[in-house]
Structure 1
Amino acid sequence: MTEDAGEVLDRHNALVDAVRASIPGLTEARLGRVGENQWAGVWRWESADDLKAARELAPTLAETKAAFALVREGTSAVDEIEVIEER
């Protein structure tokens, strides 16, 4: 693990807790390593509406800013995904 791994995990957990305290519907939040210095977060929502609310709220949270302060290069697949079916 890199020296930042513990900090990445701590900030991810703080962000998950802050979102869950503000918006219902987050059923699962996973953080994984893709490489030595690459991470992937996968969050599962009860509905597209819950996801939409979280996308609107997240940029306003201090925990979001803290978590992404560790990111050197980032992308969000959510910006590219249109929910077409919920099951």
Structure 2
Amino acid sequence: MATVRTHRYTVETGSLATMLEHRTNLIDGIRSANPTFAEATLIKLDDGSYLDIWRWESAEDMQRASQVAASIPLVGATLSLTADHSVLDGEVLDRR
């Protein structure tokens, strides 16, 4: 069953373009190293915060990638442009 990791965060003022560039490069790198990384969806909410939803084919695949992520410098560089960061994991039960 597919698994999602949902990040909620704000972006430091004036840093959105840089964060989006870092995010794109990070997703490209993760996708090339992890073929089970299915998609990433970024949503800007009415309150100015963002939801960044990353879908994996399984929880095991997501966990393996998460363990490696700490050693990727672009992860820290991208996160440094955000604040109020929280993470929730969940299993996809229905998708239409």
Give the shorter-chain TM-score range: 0.7 to 0.9
Q: Under a length normalisation based on structure 1, what TM-score does the superposition of the two structures give?
A: 0.76
Identity %: 25
TM-score w.r.t. structure 2 length? 0.70
- Structure 1 unaligned segments of length 5 or more: list them: none
Q: How many corresponding residue pairs?
A: 82
More RCO (CA 8 Å, sep 6+): 2
Residue 3 of structure 1: how far off its partner (Å): 3.0
- Larger helix share, 1 or 2: 1
Hey, which of these two has a bigger chunk of strand by percent? 2
Q: Which runs of 5+ in 2 are unaligned?
A: 1-12
- The 1-side partners of 2:67 and 2:19 are apart by 22
Q: Which runs of 4+ in 1 moved over 4 A?
A: none
Q: Tell me the distance in 1 between the aligned counterparts of 2:19 and 2:42.
A: 9
RMSD: 2.3
Q: Distance in 1 between matches of 2:85 and 2:78?
A: 11
